[in-house]
Amino acid sequence: MTPSPLSRIRRDGDALDEARPPAPFVVGLTRSGTTLLRMMLDAHPELAVPPETHFVPDLIKAARAEQGADAMLEAMTSNRTWSDFGIGEEEMRERLAVVPSGDAAGAVRAFFEAYAEKQGKPRWGDKTPAYMLSVQRIGRTLPESRFIHLIRDGRDVALSQTARALNEQPPPAEQAARWVKRIRKSRDQAATLKGPRYVEARYEDLVRDPETTLRRICEFVDLPWEEEMLRYHERAAERLAEMAGSLRAEGTHAEQEAGYRIANHAPTTKPPDPAKLDKWRREMSPGDLAAYDAVAGELLSELGYEVTS
């Protein structure tokens, strides 16, 4: 029987998807070291990783609604981070105009390919911590997506979030519950994807032994090893300069001045410092530690972290 034209199109599309190089998506809770990993991967001469995008789920939704290029463009440019990427609206509109109606994957690729071209690189990736809750949607849309979930000791996450947050943070038990819930939800979503498309890495391992951890990640995303990734800090300031604009307040997110945004990630301009790990041992009060461990102790132990209370 002769295959129908539609079946041939689908088969050809599947073959093309298989031929695309993996696209790494770095996810994790905020203050878990995802910017450090972004800088390391972006230092690779073949891979461009932009600042946090945040709009990919909305772009997928707009593309699937088949409302045209303007609706897809609005999904991107209405996001408060749009000015970070250095892509003109008209250029993006022209790229979206040739994306077939309903092709959400094509719409997402149109953005990332435009960004990668501006960086002079053939491949692209993403680092948006919040996508840990969109693994399923993005994964089902982009067959080439590969998720790297960077996990940090939740107690250090809580200390860092409290120190850097622009709004008041909840008490330790609630922070612990959020840490546990989001990690488990990300894992549950990843389990629905076909194939080896999700891997976890510990922030502490990345800091203590960056080469070993990076080599494992490179193998996962079919990226050849490059020593430049270990020298990421030499160009980190230049990459952070993309975030020179302020961010307006939006929903539960507070306004962020440009200076705050860049200072928030200033440690990436230096090599990893293992001495700054395990801050909870020095800075968390016994009461806060007990409250946190009572909620998150089981998952902390599962991930290889010491639980003392």
pLDDT at site 67: 87
Mean pLDDT by 10 residues, the chain (309 residues): 42 61 98 98 99 98 95 96 95 97 98 99 99 98 99 98 79 97 98 96 99 99 98 96 80 75 90 97 97 98 95
Q: Report if residue 265 sits inside a domain.
A: no
Q: What's the residue count for the chain?
A: 309
The domain containing residue 96 runs over which residues? Answer: 21-230+271-302
Q: Report if residue 191 sits inside a domain.
A: yes
SS3 content of the chain, % helix, strand, coil (to 5): 60, 10, 35
DSSP states of 265-276? TGGGGS---GGG
Q: Report if residue 149 sits inside a domain.
A: yes
| Separation of alpha carbons 60 and 63, rounded Å | 5
Contacts for 102 with CB less than 8 Å, ≥ 6 apart? 63, 64, 66
Q: Report if residue 126 sits inside a domain.
A: yes
Q: Report if residue 263 sits inside a domain.
A: no
Contacts for 82 with CB less than 8 Å, ≥ 6 apart? 55, 76
| Separation of alpha carbons 43 and 225, rounded Å | 11
Chain center to CA of 219: 18
pLDDT at site 166: 58
pLDDT at site 184: 99
CATH number for position 193: 3.40.50.300
Q: Report if residue 53 sits inside a domain.
A: yes
Per the structure, the count of domains in the chain is: 1
